[in-house]
Amino acid sequence: MKIEELEAAALMLDPKGRARLAERLLESLDSLSPEENAQIWAEEAQRRAAALESGALSSRPADEVFREARRRI
């Protein structure tokens, strides 16, 4: 099964099912070594940088994000 198919199936779960799955997936990451964790974050940073450069992802200034977050809470 491809990751896209798995994601689509997971998103079809009800909210309680998605929360349970998310919790299990996050727990599974606790067993990663520091090196594995660093590699995953480096790959994610590269993915996001490429998305920003291609225009597929937009950015906002941090002060704007924090201001909105404070407003919401």
pLDDT of 51 reads 96
User: Residue 9 — pLDDT band, cuts 50, 70, 90?
Assistant: very high
Mean pLDDT of 23-46: 95
- My answer on whether 49 and 64 are in the same domain is yes
Q: Which domain holds residue 15?
A: 1-31
Given CA atoms 58, 60, 65, 68 in this order, what sign does their dihedral have?
negative
- My answer on whether 39 and 12 are in the same domain is no
Question: Could you tell me if 62 and 70 are in contact, meaning their C-beta atoms sit under 8 angstroms apart?
Answer: no
- My answer on whether 38 and 73 are in the same domain is yes
Count CB atoms within 10 A of the CB of residue 21. 13
- My answer on whether 25 and 6 are in the same domain is yes
- My answer on whether 14 and 42 are in the same domain is no
Q: Mean pLDDT of all residues in the chain?
A: 96
Residue type at position 26: L
pLDDT of 1 reads 86
Residues 23 and 27: their CA atoms lie apart, in Å, by 6
- My answer on whether 41 and 59 are in the same domain is yes
